[in-house]
Copies of this chain bind each other. A is one copy, B any other.
């Protein structure tokens, strides 16, 4: 009869930890895995020397591991996590996350995400797209994804956000991507998905936060423009930064040129942030991120 240990081929457990730094942390964690015959395939750790905080991402093969997957969390908690006061999360490599997309009128990030999803570049499901405009419905239809248009006005925002949250729950959404969604989510919405709403802002934050960053960058005469992907928090454009990138511009570039060059940055930076999130390679602490390689 095949045992639990036989059918885990290729499957891994992923453990994310942050806690006060103490001697013996790394060996306590690695011992737990080793003495249960786990083979570590990834280990990255970071110590914030100033704040004395320890961060780790460790991944090991479930094949041959002495503890059944469904019991790992309990044993880990008792033997390691509680004694060291760890904040921790355990994931398995074969979990498929469910991502909701919020869009408005600009298609470039949406196309880029759907192409990656459809071609299998990412292991993710896209159960729905939510928009405040009808413009991108044809794109959603082209990829066969349900599209909900919920126009937002100052008057209806609370009801529409309630409807959005209901849709997210109905579709069992793990995280939300704002793919150039041009509405500000209310704090009460944001707190439902802490560190689970990813935004792309079209500037090199903290420069040019808020509206019309390309106009502002042009007016200031910068020689480089950027894009920033971050987790959404209650404060606008001020959440923990996941990824940033930049590109050179010159005096020849009009605002329209910045918009054009910026589009490519936006889609790449957002894609990089989503990929990092999907890989369980982000930890947030103190409004900053630890991004494991």
Partner-B contacts on A (CB < 8 A): 23-24, 26-27, 30-31, 33-35, 37-47, 49-50, 55, 107-108, 111-112, 115-116, 118-119, 121, 142-143, 204-208, 220-224, 226, 240-246, 248, 250-252, 254, 260, 263-264, 268, 271, 286-291, 293
Contact = CB atoms under 8 A, between A and B. Distances in A.
Given A111-B111, A111-B119, A222-B205, A254 B26 contact: no
A199 to B, nearest CB: 15
B31 A254 contact: no
A117 to B, nearest CB: 11
A24 to B, nearest CB: 4
Contacts of A39: 23
Given A204-B224, A244-B222, A254 B49 contact: yes
Contact of A264 (B143, B248, B271): B271
A30 B108 CA distance: 39
Most buried by B among A143, A206, A271: A206
